[in-house]
Amino acid sequence: MTTNGEFTLAAIQAAPIYFNRSASAEKACQLIEEAAQKGATLAAFGESWLPGYPWWLWSGSEPEIREARIAYLDSGVEIPSATTERLCQAAGDASIDVVVGVAERDPNTLGTIYCTLLFIGREGRILGRHRKLKPTYLERTVWGEGDGSSLRTYQRPYGRISGLNCYEHLMMLPGYALVAQGTQIHVAAWPFGGSSRGNLLSAALAVQGCCYVIAVGAAWIVETLPEELAGLDRPEETDPGPFSQIIDPWGTTLVSQARTDEEAIIIAKGSQHGVMEPKLIADIAGHYSRPDVLQLHINQRPLANLVDPESLDQSVLTADAATARDDSADDLMQEPEHTGS
């Protein structure tokens, strides 16, 4: 898959099947196979792609979107589950790494959704997940907050990968935390993309982190919308694009998708050489830093509502504790998913 430090990146701009977990997962599996056939080493989907970003929060009053809220919660993806097993199988069969945004449902309370990036390896197993640290504006009415346990990079044969959701790139410090961990290929997951801020923030991380960035969002196709969303207008894009794009460590767009109402898999090549050259000039977490003046401290303990006070290590009684450890990845595909649409 790699030659002399080279790799091939894919941004999958496609429309999910809203509120339909299984159908969206099957579509994702088909797209994963297509990306692999195009030679991709790593393929990425947009924010909360499976089973869809909740754009309707901006499109109606509470009575109008109440049913949409219920359907969204009901179609959430639990980790692990039959849905994640299916995605892992597709990645393993295609021998490709995948980063996909999912609306992750809390397996304990069944009442909270997290905006999660799921990292899946070509071995057919979950590498880890990252829950969005701070949902933006109205997103806070449907998404819970993540914690620092998932703010990490993943070493792959061709390079070190990472990812953040949407306006986490505006927060500055999460991006620096990943750069300090040596990210070389970063997934910037957006709802649809195309805004000037999104484009700027994606390019800024590429330049500051000396890394490749896959900036990817979903396609907007009216025919994919379910009955619950009929009559609700998606907020208009304020900028002409580009939409999904792949950016090199100098901030140059290597390839982009011009329209948001079209599905496409865009491909670009990268290399370790492409990362190392700009780092020689300014490695902001290495020789171009001043830790004697400025340091970033991260709380990487997983948050928990239930803690055993008698345990010496204050072990977490929720499923999050297992996912915070490297050695737990093989166990993340065992439990069945709760029923839902």
In sign, the C-alpha dihedral spanning 224, 74, 144, 106 is negative
Quote the tokens at residue 274.
């492409």
Beta pairing partners, 128: 119
Instruction: Tell me the residue ranges of DSSP E strands in 192-288.
Output: 212-216, 245-247, 253-256, 264-271
d(CA 304, CA 8): 38
Active site residue 211: no
In order of 8, 246, 269, 334, the CA distances from 319 in angstroms are 34, 34, 37, 12
Active site residue 210: no
CB atoms within 10 A of CB 181: 16
Active site residue 166: yes
| Catalytic residue, candidates 115, 132, 168, 279 | 132
- Return the closest-CA partner of residue 215 out of 283, 168, 172, 262: 168
Quote the tokens at residue 285.
């977490």
d(CA 206, CA 200): 10
Does 51 sit behind a cis peptide bond, omega within 30 degrees of 0 on the bond before it?
Answer: yes
Does 80 sit behind a cis peptide bond, omega within 30 degrees of 0 on the bond before it?
Answer: yes
CA angle 190, 98, 218 (to 5 degrees): 30
Calculate the dihedral angle through the C-alpha atoms of 78, 80, 81, 87, rounding to the nearest 10 degrees.
100
| Catalytic residue, candidates 166, 210, 211, 337 | 166
| Catalytic residue, candidates 27, 47, 211, 337 | 47
The separation between CA 27 and the C-alpha centre of its own chain, rounded to angstroms, equals: 17
Helix (H) or strand (E) holding 103: strand 97-105
Q: In what order do the strands lie in the sheet with 159-165?
A: 154-156, 159-165, 185-189, 212-216, 245-247, 253-256
Residues identified as active-site: 47, 132, 166
